Amino acid sequence: MKHFILVTLLFFIGNYLYSQDDLEKLFDSEETTEYASATFKASRIILGQSVEQPYTGNLIFDIQHQFGAINQGYKEFFGLDQASTRLGFAYGITPWLMIGIGRTALEKTVDGSMKIRLIRQSKGEVNFPLTISYYGNIGMDGLDYSLIPIKYYFTHRLTFLNQLLIARKINSSISLQLMPTHIHRNLVDRVIDENDIFALGAGGRFKITKRTSVNLEYFYVLSSQNAADFQNSLSLSFDIETGGHIFQLYITNSTGMLEQQYITSSSDDWIEGDIHFGFNISRTFVLKKPRNFNE
């Protein structure tokens, strides 16, 4: 009788433990949503924007520095005697909204920008294959128009950018992005120049090691006038991540660092050796710590 009671007790205990195990598996099997992260390491691919943006309360400080063309020879120290710089700040207001401001030495341009994440690549309960963001900016040049023999207004200084950033993280090593772009210039240099420029950009990140990658970026100008008079912007970079810093060493045929400059008026040709060396430094500062942040 004692043996019967013991066996019965073990049977019920075993069934109870088995049922608990099944219940845990049931809860574990509930589908959740997993979002893609680190599609690109920086908020820029090279010169152009990526779908990445700072976390809420984080401030990104960008230093962009670009030299003259390498083929100028030793008299210009292979372009290093000439330099142009852009300093910029970008702040994450919410998980989906970023605002920024910058100053570029070329044409003494000040710009204000905004990036909005519209949808994020995910799998699981919510399944979407792409991350899509909107990026827009307004640029204002600080050139001296007093010597120009025409009447000009403040609005002539303004240029506008509208851009969709459409990216997919293929795997942990490869990410790709398309950038349909519209640029409007209130004032153009020549009568034949178009005020509205349309372009299509494409970029990619190819991871080499955990902290290094090679990035490629190209903008094809669709507007016929600009396509005939200028070169399409082509850039190649080597990226190094070191904690809160990201270094990008790049070569390009472009002379500007703002979209309104390098997309619409890149006159240098890779084939002729009109290649510029430059670098980007991106540093992130945590100004507002998340509630669950642990020191």
Q: What is the pLDDT of residues 157-214, one digit of tens each?
A: 999 999 999 999 999 999 999 999 999 999 887 777 889 999 999 999 999 999 999 9
pLDDT 10s digits, 118-148: 999 999 888 999 999 999 999 999 888 776 7
Question: Percentage of residues in the chain with pLDDT exceeding 70?
Answer: 85
Residue 227: predicted pLDDT: 65
Distance CA(100)–CA(144), nearest Å, equals 25
Residue 288 is predicted with a pLDDT of 82
> If you average pLDDT over every residue of the chain, what do you get?
85
Per-residue pLDDT band for 292 (boundaries 50, 70, 90) equals low
Answer whether residue 260 shows pLDDT above 70.
yes
pLDDT at 131: 97
With cut-offs at 50, 70 and 90, classify the pLDDT of residue 11. very low
Give the homologous superfamily in CATH for domain 34-286. Answer: monomeric porin ompg (2.40.160.40)
pLDDT of 229 > 80? The answer is: no
Calpha distance 236→165 (Å, rounded): 19
Residue 151 — very low, low, confident or very high, per pLDDT cuts 50/70/90? confident
Residue linked to tokens 């772009």: 181
Closest Cα to residue 123, out of 30, 33, 28?
33
SS (H, E, C) the chain: CHHHHHHHHHHHHHHHHHHHHHHHHHHHCCCCEEECCCCCCCCECCCCECCCCCCCCEEEEEEEEEEEEHHHCHHHHHHCCCEEEEEEEEEEEECCEEEEEEEECHHHEEEEEEEEEEECCEEECCCECCEEEEEEEEEECCCCCCCCCCCCCHHHHEEEEEEEEEEEECCCCEEEEEEEEEEEECCCCCCCCCCEEEEEEEEEEEEEECCEEEEEEEEEECCHHHHHHCCCEEEEEEEEEECCEEEEEEEECCCCCCHHHHCCCCCCCCCCCCCEEEEEEEEEEECCCCCCCCC
The answer on pLDDT for 34 being more than 80 is yes
Q: How many CA atoms lie within 13 A of 55 on its CB side?
A: 12
The answer to whether residue 63 scores a pLDDT higher than 70 is yes
* CA separation, residue 179 to residues 45, 68, 273 (Å): 11, 27, 26
pTM, two decimal places: 0.83
Query: Which is more confidently placed, 96 or 21?
Result: 96
Q: Is pLDDT of 263 > 90?
A: yes
Give pLDDT tens digits for 66-76.
Answer: 988 877 777 77
